[in-house]
A and B are shown apart, each in its own frame.
Chain A
Amino acid sequence: MGRWEEIKHEIWDTVVTPCDCCGQVVARHMWIAEVNGVQRQFCSPGCEELYAIRGHDAAPGARFPGPDDAGRDADRRGQR
């Protein structure tokens, strides 16, 4: 079960957030959901569904949040 979260941009946040499934920009509201035990960010519930159904793996090199990004991403989601 996912949830909508608003992305809060600071003035120094110049980087946009891509959807983990389709790669589109999530400009204001992201859909956060857990897929196979991993928290993912999507542009819509539809993309979560597509991601889960297709067993979609990120292409080699796709950059998803790693340990170093946890703080930055938490900031952007307004969790800190």
Chain B
Amino acid sequence: MTPAPASSPDPTGSTLDPIQLTIINNAFVNVCREMGITMTRTAFSPIFNEGLDFSCAMFDREGNMIGQAEYCPGQLAASIFIVRWTLQELGLDSFEPGDVILHNDPYRGGNHIPEHSVLRPVYYDGELWGFVANVGHLAEIGGKAVGSFAADATEIFQEGLRIPPVKIVSRDEPNLDLWRLIMANHRTPRNTWGDLNAQIGSLRVAERRLVQLIDRYGPELLTRAGNELMDYSERWMRTEIAAIPDGTYEFTDYMENDGVVDEPVKFHVKLTIDGEHMIADWTGSQPQVRGPINTTYAVTAGAVYNAIMHLTNPNIPKNSGAYRTIHVIAPPGTVVNVVYPGASVGGNTETHPKLFDMVMGAMGAVLRDKVSAAQGASCCNFLFGGTHPKTQEFYANYHLEGCGWGAKDYDDGNDATIVVNGNCRNTPVEIFETRYPLQTIEYSLITDSGGAGRRRGGLGTRRIMRIGAGAQITASALFDRTKGRFRAWGLEGGLPGGYGAILVKRRGDDRFRTFPEVFGTVSASKFTNVVLEEGDEVLLDSPGGGGFGDPRERDRESVRCDVEEGLVSEDAARSLYGWDEA
């Protein structure tokens, strides 16, 4: 696809030359990157300084995103709605220099309640120029489950402390009454203090850099550059969508259950390509469910944006202009647009990747060379906390695993990679064991978990952890793709990926068993607040990705390498790939 270059005749009458525009675009991105680096160096929790479960972006004074750094696609999409709706709700008149707004309300643009957004206005010569924002997943925010990820929650009140847009800092003075209220409702308040202050501090760095940019270019030129960059992205995206054949493309998929009622959950999407426009209509998805796998509007829209970004030119500048021609319909009160007081904490981690896959599946009819088979699509959320036997301090951690990604026509799927909306990093075993009383006994790729295909699906992982000496932990889990027909589907004859699982072996036992067998939980994949003791072991298997194409068409050298590296067993190589070497 050849984009409309910035130097082409410009219907907006731009006078900025393309080189200057590119330099300013890169400067916007770098402001956001530096915000993120500040965050990793100052946050208290591994979820930020190791996992990178946060995102940084900047906005003009109308609330349009004009720059972002390469963090979590899901959070970046949500920030578009969070900032726009917050500005509309509060009004620009309510802001003053040095203010910071805090917000984690899923019904107001958030992805799910653990993600806290901070937003700071940037003034120049007394005039509001724009905003800088940071969205981060706090590892503990209260609610019924340690780690604030209650897999059996039926209302938002069980998921943690909900905060509508409020000023946590007013004219650079912290609102300590609000801070005290938050601290009193989180299980690990010292970490909340450190992590939220890291987010707020990153905004100050971004503000300083942005003011330096305005010093250099002037406020009017920089505003015009932001507008032109958005128009440029819009033109480019219109060109990309126009290249897709007009038509309606539909896809239906299911999740195994909602964590409360053990029945499949149905999702449906109808994508309409009409010239330069795309409409993603999720009507036909089932009513909102009781458990927490409902998505917010931002999650559903973000999944569509995310998939489209994977299907179009990766060089389109990522700003609000790129999304103007994509329209998302998510009927309120359905599983793709939760309404108050419905639960939604798992909608971001478990449902977003499946909605992404559905867009891929629908577009496969006309973009077979670009789409991917289904991914493992579960963060394999494992939450735990307790009193650390060495420090006597209460700790809590939100742990997520990488899974296998779906294969494409041109490549195998990624192994052991955090879901497509996350872009997070794996927390190293050494960090894990230093901070928490758990030992990692095994961490490996699961042989044969990648769906067989001409291109093989990515492999899932196995992690076995043992509860350390003197420790007792309270654990919760929210997994998916663990049974039946809910594995990651393949495309064009590719086979599905392997199952996910969470199992437990009590101290002295000789085998792993399911949590319903040992603890009587209703669900084997979604449960809350199980107490594990010293010597108990937990096994986490993440699901593999689907394969692409007939496995018997996979080139023989790749099959041989897979067998040699232990990614595919000899039995599977023979039975699925038709491999006949010794």
Contact = CB atoms under 8 A, between A and B. Distances in A.
B318 to A, nearest CB: 20
A62 B285 CA distance: 10
B199 interface: no
B108 A25 contact: yes
Nearest to B283: A59
Report which residue of A9, A21, A63 has the largest number of chain B beta carbons within 10 angstroms of its beta carbon.
Answer: A63
Point out which of A18, A22, A50 has the most chain B C-beta atoms below 10 A from its C-beta: A22
A62 B89 contact: no
B286 A61 contact: yes
Contacts of B339: 15, 18, 63
A23 B108 contact: no
A60 B91 contact: no
Given A16-B107, A25-B81, A25-B85, A62 B340 contact: no
A44 to B, nearest CB: 11
Contacts of A50: 279, 327, 329
Nearest to A58: B331
B329 A56 contact: yes
Nearest to B300: A23
B333 A27 contact: no
A62 B334 contact: yes
A61 B340 CA distance: 13
A56 B281 CA distance: 10
Contacts of B279: 50
A14 interface: yes
B566 interface: no
Contacts of B109: 25
Interface in A2-61: 9, 14-16, 18, 21-25, 27-29, 50, 54, 56-61
Nearest to B282: A59
Contacts of B84: 27
Given A59-B334, A60-B287, A22 B328 contact: yes
B254 to A, nearest CB: 16
B297 A25 contact: yes
B91 A28 contact: yes
Interface string B320-338: 0000000111111110010
Contacts of B337: 18, 23
Contact of A56 (B283, B288, B334): B283
B329 A62 contact: no
Q: Could you tell me the dominant secondary structure of chain B's interface residues? A: mixed
A28 B94 CA distance: 14
A16 B342 CA distance: 13
Q: How large is the interface on A (under 10, 10 to 19, 20 to 34, 35 or more residues)?
A: 20 to 34
Contacts of B327: 22, 50
A24 B297 contact: yes
Most chain B beta carbons < 10 A, residue from A14, A61, A63: A61
B88 interface: yes
A63 B88 CA distance: 23
B331 A23 contact: yes
A38 to B, nearest CB: 15
B288 A61 contact: yes
A25 B330 contact: no
B543 to A, nearest CB: 28
Interface in B258-281: 279, 281
Contacts of A22: 327-330
B164 interface: yes
B212 to A, nearest CB: 32
Contacts of B282: 59
B252 to A, nearest CB: 13
Nearest to B91: A28
B122 to A, nearest CB: 21
B334 A25 contact: no
Contacts of A15: 107, 339-340
A60 B331 CA distance: 9
A57 to B, nearest CB: 7
A16 to B, nearest CB: 5
B328 A61 contact: no
B284 interface: yes
B331 A62 contact: yes
A18 B88 contact: no
Contacts of B328: 22
A58 B334 CA distance: 9
**Of residues A54, A58, A60, which shows the largest number of chain B Cβ atoms within 10 Å of its Cβ?**
A60
20 contacts: A14-B164, A14-B340, A16-B85, A18-B332, A18-B337, A21-B329, A23-B331, A23-B337, A24-B81, A27-B85, A27-B89, A28-B88, A28-B91, A29-B88, A54-B281, A58-B331, A60-B334, A61-B288, A61-B333, A62-B332
Given A23-B331, A27-B88, A60-B286, 10 more contacts: A16-B108, A18-B332, A23-B337, A29-B88, A57-B283, A59-B283, A59-B287, A61-B286, A61-B287, A63-B333
When A and B form their complex, which 9 residue pairs have the shortest distance between CB atoms, in order from nearest?
A: A61-B287, A27-B88, A18-B332, A59-B331, A63-B333, A23-B330, A62-B333, A27-B89, A27-B85
